[in-house]
A and B are shown apart, each in its own frame.
Chain A
Amino acid sequence: MPGEMAIHDTGVRALQSEAELERQFAALLDSHRERALRLAWRLVGGDDAAAEDVTQEAFIRAWRGLPRFRGEAQLSTWLYRIVVRQAANHRRWRGVRERWGGAFPDEPPDPRPRATGDPGLRRRIASALETLSRGQREAFVLVHLEGFTVNEASEVLGKAPGTVKSHLHRALEKLRAELGDLRNDLSGGDHDADA
């Protein structure tokens, strides 16, 4: 019965036309470009070029997967899930490159510094985030730095809210140890800005 089909098909939205897909994608890009890029930037440790690469790859995958997108989650949740995975892939490959040293020479660094704030503080925070496990880092960045709720983060990460909260708890413990001085110091982040 067509009416029933329509109800059942609300979950499996067969997006009708190329124009409709393009409209959805443009809206997704417009609404989430900045936040996706910022999330990627924080997950890859503050590397502008890598963050852009990760974000673009995530949008490319979103575009390719859009016709098969099932409306079971929000489109944005699905996009951020792709971003988080792409960032994890990037980190894994970066680890391989670093292990093999000169076998894969790095691209020259982007000459245009785009990050804001104090470079010394930025390096300290990046190093502190590196001490976290992948799960802790992803949960911490999503919830505390990007402002996702625990439930949203659990959907993005595909983990139970309790697991996300455990990650947050442990992450905060480690970060207190690494960056404890920032908890009381409101004067600025010039601790090793000369580094």
Chain B
Amino acid sequence: MTQMRDDERHSGSDPKLSADDAVLIDRMRSGFGPAPLGAVRSASFDARLRDRLERRSRRPWAWAALTAATAAALIWAVLPGELAREGQSDTTSPAALAWEQEVMFGDTSDDPFEVEGGEPLPPEYMALASAFEF
């Protein structure tokens, strides 16, 4: 009864049911189903379906708008950084580099005896300064 014959399995014919199984299936079919749709529910089903179809057909525009908004947000977020980096490249001029070094490491001019104003020290002062240099 519970064994399925090979010819039964491989043919496309519908399965044969015992009387008891037929009763079981009949009870299941009648006891497990939705109420019939009827004209009113059919109409409301169709109306909701039409509404969903219309909303879906508008969705490509929503996607386009969303994509544009995302792109704008990305540009807004990334561009100021790029501009700042471009600004930073100005500070890499020799004068700016020298300024940065001076701020961080003090005066780094090669000639320790050169004083502001460009006037070189007299030779005796230079000799004295050399004596204290390690």
Contact = CB atoms under 8 A, between A and B. Distances in A.
Interface of A: 29, 33-34, 37-38, 41-42, 46, 48, 51-52, 55-56, 59-60, 63-64, 114-118, 121-122, 125-126, 129, 143-145, 149-151, 154, 161-162, 165-166, 168-169, 172-173, 175-176, 179-180, 182-184, 186, 189
A116 B53 CA distance: 30
B93 interface: no
Interface string B30-47: 111111110000100110
Interface in B64-79: none
20 contacts: A33-B37, A33-B46, A37-B45, A42-B32, A55-B45, A56-B52, A60-B52, A60-B53, A115-B34, A115-B35, A125-B28, A125-B32, A129-B32, A145-B32, A150-B13, A161-B11, A162-B10, A169-B9, A173-B2, A183-B21
B28 A60 contact: no
A143 B14 contact: yes
Interface residues of B, number: 34
Given A60-B52, A144-B29, A189-B31, A150 B12 contact: yes
Smallest CB-CB A-B distances: 6 pairs: A183-B20, A125-B32, A161-B12, A41-B34, A121-B31, A114-B35
Given A59-B49, A179-B24, A46 B32 contact: yes
A37 B11 CA distance: 30
A34 B32 contact: no
A75 B15 CA distance: 26
Contacts of B33: 38, 41-42, 115-117, 145
B4 interface: yes
A110 to B, nearest CB: 11
A48 B30 CA distance: 17
Given A169-B15, A183-B21, A145 B28 contact: yes
Nearest to B21: A172
Interface of B: 2, 4, 8-15, 20-21, 23-25, 27-37, 42, 45-46, 48-49, 52-53, 56
A164 B79 CA distance: 60
Contacts of B53: 60, 63
B35 A182 contact: no
Nearest to A161: B12
A67 B28 CA distance: 38
B97 to A, nearest CB: 56
Contacts of B31: 117-118, 121-122, 125, 189
A184 B20 CA distance: 7
Given A150-B13, A161-B10, A165-B8, 14 more contacts: A37-B45, A46-B34, A52-B48, A56-B45, A114-B35, A122-B32, A129-B32, A145-B28, A145-B33, A150-B12, A168-B15, A180-B24, A182-B23, A184-B20
